[in-house]
Amino acid sequence: MGVLPIRGNWLGLGMFVVVGGLVALIGGFILKLGDVKTMITVGAALAVADLAIRIVNRTVPGWIFSREAGGYFFFIPIWILGLLVVVLKSLIGAGVIKK
C-alpha cells in the first residue's frame, strides 16, 4: 500500500478542493493577486501535489497515469489538469486568448 489509502477520484477531488482551494484563498484573498496569477499558481500547485504523490508511488505499473498512483478528477490525472490551467491562464495573461 502506498502513502494514502484513498485513490482515484476521491484523492483527485480532495487535492482539487484542498490544495486548489488553499492556494486560491491565499493568493486571491490574502495576497490580493490577480485572477491570472492566482490560477497559474493553483494549476502549478495541483500539478506538483499530484506528481509528488505519484513519485512516491512509482512502483505501481504506469504510475504517471495510473489511478492507483495519484489523483484523478473524472478521467483526467490532476497533474494534467494543473498544467492545463497554467497554460490557459498564461495565454490569457499574455493577451493571446481574450476573456
* Residues 42-56: tens digit of each pLDDT: 999 999 999 998 888
Q: How far apart are CA 22 and CA 96, in angstroms?
A: 28
For CA atoms 64, 69, 73, 74, the dihedral sign is positive
When pLDDT is cut at 50, 70 and 90, the band that residue 62 belongs to is confident
pLDDT > 60? residue 70: yes
Tell me what pLDDT residue 1 has: 46
Mean predicted lDDT score pLDDT of the chain: 87
What's the alpha-carbon Rg for the chain, to the nearest Å? 14
